[in-house]
Amino acid sequence: MGSDIDDALVDDAPAKREELAVADVQFGPLPELVGFMVRQAQLRMFEAFYADLADDGIRPGLASILVTIGENPGIRQGVLADALRIKWSNMAKIVRYLDDDALVERRVAKSDRRAFELHLTDRGRKLVARALPKIRASDRRATAILDPDELTTLRTLLAKLSGI
Amino acid sequence: MGSDIDDALVDDAPAKREELAVADVQFGPLPELVGFMVRQAQLRMFEAFYADLADDGIRPGLASILVTIGENPGIRQGVLADALRIKWSNMAKIVRYLDDDALVERRVAKSDRRAFELHLTDRGRKLVARALPKIRASDRRATAILDPDELTTLRTLLAKLSGI
DNA sequence: TATTGTTATACTCTATAACTATA
DNA sequence: TATAGTTATAGAGTATAACAATA
């Protein structure tokens, strides 16, 4: 790509493409906004996730829920929802779906019969074990433009920002 | 909050709260994933945006579209969609809404009568001018935990990551 | 034939309020 | 009276495919 002939053609026809190319779009004050930049970065990361893990039938949200239950066996549904910034009403539907799919088990808490304690089933544990390496690989590929030091810095700053 | 009496009570009843508190939730491998951290940070930033700009009837997506049109008068709809990682079919609906609301004007391109060139109306320009200071303030408040150097670093790394 | 944009549609995600059952 | 979770529902956001008009 980018032969001498191509370059010559571009030089010869500077006014041919008057329209704005995607790469030349100006974002003005937007790149100063962390909210905007974080959103663009997230879109890029999720694109990669979906492309690499579509076949496994797992999405970013479900993955984070399953991993967090695995790391905190018996975690209550409301605590899980608050930790991942998901509304209780939405978490109820997700957990019911995961229960129907035999990935998660809901146990009534002995100390409070209103509460559910969540556990991964064997199937859930296997799914996490199988998906996690692919997720890590996808994440690494999507961030390959950053060197290890930059990656560490980025994770540290995002952790500080999101309070984790 | 946190009186001596409270502390004494906590010391006397260490087994009382056996349940996991939100702050103690373990995320295991998730914080190593840039995709997860970027998602958590984005949720936090958007929460702040909605809280601070709900009254103005503006959302993060609409704001970025209006600002980008303002910075690139005459930008084509498809170029705008690609630049902001929005599907053409979805951008069509958004731009029609903005046109109906008299914030954006669609002009048929002279060089290609299939294409729309987008411009802000006076109303659109005024909305941007009025909202932008509030958006900046909200962004600054939501990122106040980071010092200026950290903010600069974070923006630089996110820009590199998202290719802007 | 390829490209620009539109329509229809479906699915996910998110937000709110009213509800139940326990505490 | 408060809390854990559910249900219903509405609104955004996103993805795909079929389509019209123009190049």
Q: In the predicted model, is pLDDT for residue A109 greater than 80?
A: yes
What's the mean per-residue pLDDT of chain A?
Answer: 89
Average pLDDT of span A137-158 = 97
What pLDDT is stored for residue B9 in this prediction? 33
Task: Write out the two tokens for A75.
Answer: 């975690």
Helices first, then strands: H and E counts in chain A: 7, 3
> Which positions in chain B touch A41 (Cβ < 8 Å)?
38, 158, 161-162
Do the chains contact at A42 and B46, CB–CB below 8 Å? no
Q: What is the pLDDT of residues B31-50, one digit of tens each?
A: 999 999 999 999 999 999 99
What pLDDT is stored for residue A17 in this prediction? 52
Give B128→chain A minimum CA distance, Å. Answer: 11
- Chain A interface test: which of B18, B22, B33 (most A C-beta within 10 Å): B33
What's the predicted TM-score (pTM) here? 0.89
* Contact predicate B156/B148, CB 8 Å: no
Residues 8-67 of A with CB under 8 A from B: 18-22, 25-49, 60, 64, 67
Determine the distance between A96 (CA) and D2 (C1') in angstroms: 25
Determine the distance between B60 (CA) and C18 (C1') in angstroms: 30
Give the three-state DSSP class for B50: helix
Task: Write out the two tokens for A77.
Answer: 């549904």
Determine the distance between B88 (CA) and C4 (C1') in angstroms: 9
pLDDT lower than 70: segments of chain B = 1-18
- Owner of token pair 């935990």: B145
Q: Distance between the two ends of chain A, CA-based, in angstroms?
A: 44
Give the three-state DSSP class for B108: strand
A102-to-A56, A58, A164 alpha-carbon distances in Å? 16, 14, 29
Q: What is the pLDDT of residues A10-64, one digit of tens each?
A: 333 333 356 899 999 999 999 999 999 999 999 999 999 999 998 888 999 999 9
What pLDDT is stored for residue A142 in this prediction? 95
Q: In the predicted model, is pLDDT for residue A1 greater than 80?
A: no
